[in-house]
Amino acid sequence: HERAHESLTEKIPKDMSSRSLFKKTKHCVAQASKHALTFGVAEGEQAPLEQTLHDTVILTNKTGREKIVFAFRPPTGTDTYALTITPKSGSAREDPSGVARAMGSMKGKKVEKKGELVKFDLTFKSSASLSVVVQMSVENGLDHFFTIRLGSEKSVFGTPPADLPLVDDGRGRQIPQVLVMLRDYFMEHKAFEQQGIFRVSGDENEVRALKRAINEGKFAGSDDLHAVAGVIKVFFRQLPRHVLSELTVRQIIDSSDSQEKCVQALSNVSPMNRALFDWLMELLAETAKHTAANQMSAHTLAIVVNPNLFSAPKDVPMEPHESLRLSQAVMNFVMNMIKHASG
């Protein structure tokens, strides 16, 4: 076991280990029933979307101590999948030796193998191909690593927009067909008159049902217009790269104080992302025209939508006050462009 763990560490990213890990003095004091998590998906098959998959691991104590303490370090969640581990930390009691179990059997007594049951729950929110390593630290022992290598079913959500069916949106832009379809429904049913539209969340089950219907090519609308607006936000949030991701933090901050500067900064955005961004700004501008009914001004719409359009690169460390400044700048950028789209 120790040799297996030592060889595995060569494949683990540096940022997942610490100076104290894998010292020669450490031993494998915990045993896991398995290290490859499949969630019941057979090799070569794809995991379903919007369904929670389950897998379990039994941790047993290999030492003579009463218990060992463990803690999982799950990967940071994303907009494409959610992973939960229960419990994230705990202890495994001492496992009776084989001799003890054998003697118990001879006396007609059943000595159960003690262990801690750990549950893993995985949900794919959009198309994704996972290759994830989950680290478990063990007090005074070698760490364990659990692998998840699964691909999901294909989805409109989370797919590069250029790979989706495109149609002319009536303004000479090639836009994913799903967005044009959602906008048509949004406008025909006057969703822009709904109080709090884009701010009020639609029913979660309805949002999932709409996504599933869209993926199956069976979209027939919904009485929950907030859910329809929510699906539009989900589309942008789950794009592989946010539509403003080609802009730097500095470009966002420096251009956020005027419409003219924002328009100039957008010249650095690729044609597809620019088309998507302009499409959304025009929809939000139309919505803002009905502020008296929906109580959603350009400023309010920018607040609720901007997190779906830009996020700072993870490799750029930022102090809390810098993050706050960036968040304000992105909001101002989006607000300026909503007003610009209003003419």
Model pLDDT, residue 319: 87
What is the reported pLDDT for 108?
52
Find the range with the poorest average confidence among 209-223, 260-274, 315-329: 315-329
The per-residue pLDDT of the chain, averaged, comes to 86
Q: Tell me, what's the pLDDT at 56?
A: 96
pLDDT at 311 exceeding the cut of 60: yes
Condensed to tens digits (0 to 9), the pLDDT of residues 74-115 reads 887 677 899 999 999 998 876 554 434 444 444 455 444 567
**CA 276, 179, 258 angle in degrees (round to 5)?**
30
The residue ranges of DSSP E strands in the chain, in sequence order, are 30-32, 36-37, 52-61, 67-73, 81-86, 89-93, 116-124, 129-138, 141-151, 166-168, 174-176
| pLDDT for res 104 | 47
Bigger pLDDT: 219 or 107?
219
Question: Residue 64: which pLDDT band, with cuts at 50, 70 and 90?
Answer: low
- Percentage of the chain beyond pLDDT 90 is 67
Q: Which is it for the CA torsion 39, 40, 46, 52, positive or negative?
A: negative
pLDDT at residue 25, rounded to an integer = 53
Q: What does the pLDDT read at residue 77? A: 65
Q: Indicate if the pLDDT at residue 241 is higher than 80.
A: yes
Q: What mean pLDDT comes out for the span 209-225?
A: 94
Q: Mean pLDDT across the stretch 175-180?
A: 96
* DSSP codes joined into one string, 215-247: HTT-----S-HHHHHHHHHHHHHTSSS-TTTTS
**CA contacts within 13 A on the Cβ side of 224:** 15
pLDDT range class, residue 68, cuts 50, 70, 90: confident
Window from 14-28, 60-74, 232-246, 249-263 with minimum mean pLDDT: 14-28
Does residue 67 have a pLDDT over 60? yes
Tens of pLDDT, residues 181-200: 999 999 999 999 999 999 99
- Which pLDDT belongs to residue 21? 42
Q: Which amino acid is residue 189, in one-letter code? A: H
pLDDT band at 44 (very low <50, low <70, confident <90, very high): confident
Structure token pair of residue 159: 């797919």
For 287-298, how does the pLDDT look when each residue is reduced to its tens digit (9 = 90+)? 999 999 999 999
CB 101 within 8 Å of CB 111: yes
Report pLDDT for 325: 93
Task: Indicate the pLDDT class of residue 20, thresholds 50, 70 and 90.
Answer: very low
Residue 26 has a pLDDT of: 64
pTM above 0.75, yes or no: no
Q: How many CB atoms lie within 10 A of CB 61?
A: 23
